[in-house]
Structure 1
Amino acid sequence: MNGPQAHWLAHGRRLHLNHGPIDLVVEAFGEPDECRAAYAQAVARFQTILTELVEELPELRRPACSIPRTFVGATARRMETAVAPLAEKFITPMAAVAGSVADEMLAALLSGRRLDRAYVNNGGDSAIHLGKSQSMTLAVAGTGHGMADRITIRAEDGVRGVATSGWRGRSFSLGIADAVTVLARTGAEADAAATLIANAVDLPGHPAIHRVPARDLAPDSDLGGRLVTQGVGAVAPGELAQALDNGLAVAEDFRRRGLIAASALFLAGQTRISGSVALAAPNKHKAKETAHA
């Protein structure tokens, strides 16, 4: 595995950081000198973030409990803090790894800087910064509408993290959701909650759903022998609706408890919304200054 890599994407507006499984797109908006300094800080922080996680990986793969454990690394602590309130269900800190990395990198980007807006996109799980009166438009994938929908987040909304989970994504899922997008106070909280809501969008034991033990696909998976979804066959519309309602019940519980701000659940063209998520009309033209979730 190569060491940490950093390079500019087209037009020099976005910074791409890559190291092993971590793949980030970073963009800052503000005065040029402040943005340059912020990018330099992000590159410096990125040099050790993966190494720090690897050092504590065995414990990060163990199930969480309601009393947070003590971790050395800042990113690992973010992961544990995000999953502890959800520990009544099976969850490990790895459920929040992508969002926690985004949060940690955003914190490094912002430290001592004056930026109008910024985001760190970690493979679709994002941490965002919005100054007073600022807003940002997010493109939400996996909606089943054939193109991305848009969500606009304003500074006053209190949302600083957006994450998406589902069986078609890069991580394993116990459920059958095409995608579950969650808005929360941090990327870590959004990531952990999206994982559990997507797991709950399910039809346990349904013969049309192909599942495989996680360890058969990845021997070191934190999910061990739990069955993860690898295919969804023909399922009746009413059953799809029931699966979505199962996930919606979890999403509503999280929202009532103040763990998330809102969520959108997608499965085979059907949708459920929890909270005030205003999905804009699909737009085939990429919006200016858009972060993808």
Structure 2
Amino acid sequence: MDLDAVRTFVAAADAGRFQEAAAELAVTQQAVSKRIASLERDLGVRLFTRTARGARLSIDGQAFLPHARELLRVAERAEASVRPGRRPLRVDVIASRVAPSGLMRAFHRAYPEIDLDVVMLFDVGTAVAALRSGTIDASFRAVAMPGRPLPEDIESVRVLDEPLQLLTGPAHALAGARSVTVAQLAGHRIWMPGIVPGTEWAAYYDDLVAEFGLTIEATGPNFGSDALLDTVADTPALATLMSERTRLVWPAGHDLRRIPVTDPTPVYPHSLLWHRDNPHPALAVLRAHLATTSAGHDAAGTWTPGWVTPR
């Protein structure tokens, strides 16, 4: 059913004259007549009775009018649901405990009037496909990956370089250190079962191992962060690496230690990705917020893989 014809019918019913309906809709009286005639043909009934004083609703027109109004209300709601700025801004933060989630919580505190949908997508390929299809508006990722450049229609900006820390149990050989150098980590077993081949974080740690001769083991099932903390606390031979802003809570009896890594400090690069044609006004607000709250990147004394962009 032609919504323009339905809208014209409602305007004519309210005005009582085709001429007044034409003026309200900014069309000619002939256009009003044609639209209503077309609607009458579609419905198979006469909607108006023409009189010397104008147009009077027929019995069928009176029956159709409330439904016509509802059709227009439904159409308006449908349009509003996808109109830029009227639907929530949907952002991929990868996981709930990592730095991008914290960045979005800070954005929500700064702009509580902006509706947000937070999603968690597993890998960069899935995230880029969702950006290109319009399923999400933005994603936080390490950009890009060796051999997998971003498509030309995906924009990115570096928003956070997050230092890595060594996490050990109380009996680990490095547990008492106030900081450790990357060179000191060589020869120690670093256990990270959450590394999944083909992901951007796997590419990051592959380069870290190759650059500094570290031993990172991704063996065994990944039962999540709680199981990882339990194992590190109880096993003096194992430590793990985690980002500075990763939010974790463990039992007091674990006595885990988070130790800064230096000379150089490996930092995990977080970038915001979005489709260049995305019109959502809140996306511009998010980008501006991150530009004013994020520190610089590639600082002296830090390390990131050579494939990270933008630099």
Superposition TM-score, scaled by structure 1 size: 0.23
Task: Report the structure number with the largest CA radius of gyration.
Answer: 2
- The structure with the greater share of residues assigned to strand is 1
Which has the bigger relative contact order, CA under 8 A and spacing at least 6?
A: 2
- The structure that is helix-richer by fraction is 2
TM-score normalised to structure 2 length: 0.22
